[in-house]
Amino acid sequence: MIPSVGWGVLHLYYRVDRERAERDAGAAKHVRDAVAALEADGHQALVLAMLGHKADLGVIALGPDLARLQRFQNELLAAPLIPEYSYVSLTEQSEYGATEDDERARLTREEGVSGEELESRLAVWRDRIEHYRENRVHPNLPAKRSCCFYPMSKRRATDANWFELPFDERKDLMAGHARVGRTYAGRVVQLITGSTGIDDWEWGVTLLADDPAALKEIVYEMRFDPVSARYAEFGPFFTGLVLDPADACARVGLGSGDEAR
């Protein structure tokens, strides 16, 4: 099943079944084989050794075919793993993204650009925004060293109902929120996926960074932005180390089978 827009994204978190793992000397091979087969079919997967006790092993999988992702999640259960938490979402464009008219007005108002220079600057902007939009819908997740994921929704409180705000006000607020996020370019990779109607929350937020402190800093700074401070509700946070599947499995106690040789 291929969505008309966007890719499917699965966040899967497991505990290791220690009794089964002790009996299955090659338990890690089930995970390695499932990941390799998924990637061979044109999908992506990141494997994490989780920090804390919410889960032992995490897997983030994404790609165009939801049926293939569903088969992948079942293939992982050949390993001695107990599902602990999962989240289903789709990659998507932001409805609050800047339009060419927005950029034209900004360049004219803030930088006094006009004429041929304005058209030249807009051409550069169009190329950049096309790449950005493509990467939002069809992302290529880099293997940064650490990752956190959390689901979130917009608040519907009587005195702070995001969905009762006029669109232009929501767009202005989100533009300010995005400016904070852009200050972390190069340090933090952000994947924002939509889950309204397909899971318990409305969005999933995946953050990847080589420096774990950057994950804490970006979330902390954004908490002071009105979009988060007044209008956001957050679910549980899952944080782990992004590793080669074999290394992640070894970290959580899934045997490779090599020990018996």
Confidence class for position 261, pLDDT limits 50, 70, 90 = very low
pLDDT of residue 257: 58
Number of independent structural domains in the chain: 2
What amino acid positions are annotated as catalytic residues? 150
My answer on whether 163 and 228 are in the same domain is yes
Is residue 108 assigned to a domain?
no
Q: What is the pTM of this model?
A: 0.90
Q: How many CB atoms lie within 10 A of CB 228?
A: 17
My answer on whether 214 and 147 are in the same domain is yes
Q: How far apart are CA 43 and CA 237, in angstroms?
A: 25
Q: How far apart are CA 39 and CA 31, in angstroms?
A: 12
Is residue 219 assigned to a domain?
yes
My answer on whether 210 and 253 are in the same domain is no
My answer on whether 142 and 236 are in the same domain is yes
pLDDT of residue 221: 93
Full residue range of the structural domain in which residue 180 is found: 138-241
The percent of residues in the chain predicted with pLDDT above 70, rounded, is: 98
Is residue 252 assigned to a domain?
yes
Is residue 109 assigned to a domain?
no
Average pLDDT estimate for 133-142 = 88
My answer on whether 51 and 83 are in the same domain is yes
Torsion 64-65-66-69 (CA) sign: negative
My answer on whether 250 and 190 are in the same domain is no
Q: Which residues pair with 48 in a beta bridge?
A: 58, 242
Q: How far apart are CA 249 and CA 261, in angstroms?
A: 18
Q: How many CB atoms lie within 10 A of CB 91?
A: 23
pLDDT of residue 258: 59
> Does 18 score more than 90 pLDDT?
yes
> Does 132 score more than 80 pLDDT?
no
Residue 97's Cβ-count burial label (10 Å; 0-12, 13-18, 19+) is middle
Beta strands in the chain (DSSP E): 8-16, 44-50, 57-63, 81-91, 146-154, 156-157, 160-161, 189-194, 203-209, 232-234, 238-243
Average pLDDT estimate for 124-148 = 87
Is residue 203 assigned to a domain?
yes
